[in-house]
């Protein structure tokens, strides 16, 4: 009994000692409350710059008008098709909303591959592929003869002047398709569908995934006025007073603004909190110098951030007795889903051992504790960053309403948010 207690005591001590050392090592990734508040204030200013006519052209945070003017009220009904392109999966859904007896939503969906040669190919190839998948879906559901309204969730920054027009500003995340930036994606998709000639579709609306999230949440909860995605990429939208949106005519009512907060910091405004690891991630990315906030916070980069930290620590002899393997040195070998697994409260430590063993570094118990702590710091930083930018949106909503306390609902979705054991 005493021996077991002693062992437990030593292990806790050892764990404490190890985590304290890592805390020190990664101090630049651990924000004080003051820093988080400071980032919140900076983002609030960015939002204002993006909304104002004079500063919008040079603003990195684009604050794009979406032409969505209200949240659903739950009375909506009909038979629709939804395309969802740009997240971790390309999905097509048929959604039937009815009110017989009680509110009723039926959904059927299929996931389609978007192979590497398509997401790094030409615009024609991409939209031919989307049109082909849509054709396959309609064939499967036996609705090829119907002309159902299509809603297109396109998870990239788009300039819109109406609901059914969306000009791509720039690709982000894993996509880099030639000949689409500066083009209206509705036109490109319509053209690809016409060219086939085997079915008809009516693309009624293009929305960002954040807007889709806000509206889906709003269907059940009328108080929802913010939508957030924390997945492969990250972004948020919220309902802004029309009188504050210089780029859209009119003063009455509200409009949803797609903030595109992933680009926060692209003008250098986050240099004081970016680390050598963030700079290395950026250098090796498809879009260097762009989406710097996204690269610190979203799922596409988190596993790689952890890997870069481990490589440095191993090189300095602080982990794995200095063992460095080709696997550890290979980009992409630690994915965000591994980070999530390593942080699980019960099996986390054994998962960590599994992940590290696969990298061939022969980890000791102490190494596993250390690596788990590195993961926690990287995830916690991401959550801190998102809390700062969300705080800015909420404080703006509160000021817009002129209330002493804000009561609101935030709709959140995305693979990182949903899969990570502690994130929420």
**Binding residues for ligand BGC, per CB under 6 A?**
86-87, 155-157, 172-173, 208-210, 229, 231, 233-235, 260, 262, 294
**Three-state SS string across 345-380, please?**
CCCHHHHHHHHHHHCCCCCCHHHHHHHHHHHHHHHH
Which one, 22 or 281, has the nearer CB to ligand BGC?
Answer: 281
Cβ 235 to ligand BGC shortest distance, Å: 3
Residues of 65-79 as b/e, b for ≥16 C-beta within 10 angstroms? bbbbeebbeeeeeee
Cβ 217 to ligand BGC shortest distance, Å: 15
Is residue 254 classed as helix, strand or coil in its secondary structure? strand
Determine whether 295 is an active site residue: no
Q: Which one from 62, 128, 164, 173 is the annotated catalytic residue?
A: 173
Cβ 207 to ligand BGC shortest distance, Å: 10
Determine whether 220 is an active site residue: no
Q: Which one from 84, 128, 184, 209 is the annotated catalytic residue?
A: 209
Which one, 97 or 302, has the nearer CB to ligand BGC?
Answer: 302
Cβ atoms of 206 and 163 within 8 Å: the answer is yes
Which one, 78 or 182, has the nearer CB to ligand BGC?
Answer: 182
Cβ 48 to ligand BGC shortest distance, Å: 20
| CA neighbor of 281 nearest in space, from 421, 154, 378 | 378
Residues of 132-167 as b/e, b for ≥16 C-beta within 10 angstroms? ebbbebbeeeeeeeeebebbbbbbbbbebeebbbbb
Cβ 410 to ligand BGC shortest distance, Å: 15
- Nearest-angstrom CA–CA distance, 352 and 364: 11
In the complex, which residue's CB is closest to ligand BGC? 233
Which one, 227 or 348, has the nearer CB to ligand BGC?
Answer: 227
Which one, 120 or 398, has the nearer CB to ligand BGC?
Answer: 120
Residues with catalytic roles:
173, 209
């Amino acid at each position: 009994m005493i021996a077991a207690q002693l062992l437990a005591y030593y292990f806790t001590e050892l764990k404490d000692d190890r985590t304290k050392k890592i805390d020190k090592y990664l101090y630049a990734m651990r924000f004080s409350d003051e820093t988080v508040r400071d980032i919140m204030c900076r983002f609030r200013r960015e939002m204002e710059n993006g909304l104002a006519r004079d500063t919008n052209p040079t603003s990195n945070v684009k604050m794009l008008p979406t032409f969505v003017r209200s949240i659903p009220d739950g009375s909506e009904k009909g038979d629709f098709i939804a395309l969802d392109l740009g997240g971790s999966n390309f999905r097509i859904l048929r959604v039937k909303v009815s009110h017989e007896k009680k509110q009723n939503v039926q959904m059927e969906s299929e996931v389609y591959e978007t192979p590497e040669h398509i997401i790094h190919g030409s615009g024609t190839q991409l939209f031919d592929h989307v049109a082909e998948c849509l054709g396959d879906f309609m064939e499967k559901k036996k609705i090829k003869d119907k002309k159902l309204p299509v809603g297109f969730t396109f998870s990239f920054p788009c300039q819109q002047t109406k609901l059914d027009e969306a000009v791509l500003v720039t690709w982000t995340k894993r996509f880099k398709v030639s000949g689409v930036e500066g083009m209206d994606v509705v036109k490109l998709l319509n053209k690809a569908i016409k060219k086939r000639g085997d079915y008809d579709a009516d693309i009624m609306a293009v929305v960002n995934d954040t807007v889709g999230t806000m509206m889906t949440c709003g269907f059940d909860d009328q108080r929802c006025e913010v939508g957030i995605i924390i997945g492969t990429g990250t972004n948020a939208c919220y309902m802004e007073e029309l009188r504050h949106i210089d780029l859209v005519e009119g003063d009455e009512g509200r409009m949803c603004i797609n903030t595109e907060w992933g680009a926060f910091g692209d003008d250098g405004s986050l240099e004081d909190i970016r680390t050598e690891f963030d700079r290395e991630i950026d250098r090796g990315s498809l879009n260097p110098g762009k989406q710097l906030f996204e690269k610190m916070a979203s799922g596409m980069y988190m596993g790689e951030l952890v890997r870069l930290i481990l490589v440095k620590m191993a090189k300095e002899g602080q982990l794995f007795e200095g063992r460095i393997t080709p696997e550890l040195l290979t980009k992409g070998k630690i994915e965000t889903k591994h980070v999530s697994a390593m942080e699980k409260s019960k099996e986390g430590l054994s998962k960590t051992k599994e992940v590290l063993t696969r990298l061939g570094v022969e980890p000791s118990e102490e190494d596993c504790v250390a690596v788990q702590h590195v993961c926690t710091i990287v995830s916690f930083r991401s959550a801190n960053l998102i809390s700062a930018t969300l705080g800015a949106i909420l404080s703006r909503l509160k000021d817009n309403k002129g209330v002493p306390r804000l009561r609101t609902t935030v709709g959140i979705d995305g693979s990182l948010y949903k899969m990570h054991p502690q994130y929420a």
